[in-house]
Amino acid sequence: MVSDPFRMDGKVVIVTGASSGLGARFSEVLTAAGATVVMAARRELAVQELAARLPRATGMRCDITVEQDCASLIDLTVQVHGRLDVLVNNAGVSNIARVETETTEDFRRVLEVNLLGTYTLSRLAGLQMLKEGSGTIVNVASIVGLVGLGRMPQAAYAASKAGVVNLTREMAAQWARRGVRVNALAPGFFPSEMTEELFSSDSGHAWLEKMTPMGRGGRPEELDGALLYLASDASSYVTGSVLTVDGGWTAV
């Protein structure tokens, strides 16, 4: 009998930014695959309410820009569950502004969450995984970290996600011989809090239809398989990769 490599039975997973949007969806997908999931977000009540609806899920408050919050998240996960197998770095923020009006303070704030927060939590999770000689980190990047958009100006977000892409490659290269894999998921445009205006307006839908080779934005369930692939043993020989799920956006 051939086992299903996409199953996550017995795996302990942390998902950040799990109080809404893609993070909440990722938590649902991972628990459905058998994983025990620690859902982390700044909005403690919201994430705990969502976790209560899922099997084998708990919610914890964590601001990934605060190193002590990150350390507590890792420590408590290991104390309660005895291990940490997978980290999904999903938490992120954006700032829509043209370069000439985006302040240095706004630029720094986005980098602190998207890039520095990802680095801090990955480093702390990596230390635990290296002790065990195994582990998987999935960083949620973006196609905006691979190409420019221009007409949806967000230099800070683009820079932060480009940083996440190469941070992924560097961590993967450093840890490949020590049992820890690091990959990135680079979604195109999917419904979330950050893209609510885009998906709720006729002009937004028209823009997506015009700009995306497949003629539409993504549906939430169209990230499920890619997430499970990178998080599970199905990708056991994959590290340092960036998996785009974008309807062909970066192909043209």
The pLDDT assigned to 2 comes to: 66
Measured CA distances, 202 to 53, 151, 205, 206, 209 (Å): 33, 17, 5, 6, 10
pTM recorded for the entire structure: 0.95
User: Can you tell me the distance from the alpha carbon of 35 to that of 249, in angstroms, rounded to the nearest whole number?
Assistant: 31
**C-beta atoms surrounding 113 within 10 Å:** 20
**C-beta atoms surrounding 172 within 10 Å:** 20
**pLDDT tens, residue by residue, 225-247:** 999 999 999 999 999 999 999 99
| Mean of pLDDT values over 165-179 | 98
Indicate the CATH number for domain 12-193+223-244.
3.40.50.720
pLDDT at position 1 over 70:
no
Catalytic residue among 119, 157, 229, 237: 157
pLDDT at position 176 over 80:
yes
**pLDDT tens, residue by residue, 34-63:** 999 999 999 999 999 999 999 999 999 999
Q: How far apart are the first and last CA of the chain?
A: 42
The pLDDT assigned to 152 comes to: 80
Helix (H) or strand (E) holding 244: strand 242-245
Question: Hey, which residues does 138 pair with through a beta bridge?
Answer: 88, 183
The pLDDT assigned to 195 comes to: 73
209-233 burial: b if 16+ Cβ within 10 Å, else e: eebbeeeebbebeebbebbbbbbbe
Ordered by start, the domain boundaries in the chain are: 12-193+223-244
Q: C-alpha dihedral over 26, 27, 31, 34, to 10 degrees?
A: 60
Mean pLDDT, rounded, of the chain: 95
**pLDDT tens, residue by residue, 117-169:** 999 999 999 999 999 999 999 999 999 999 998 778 899 999 999 999 999 99
Q: Can 119 be counted among the known catalytic residues?
A: no
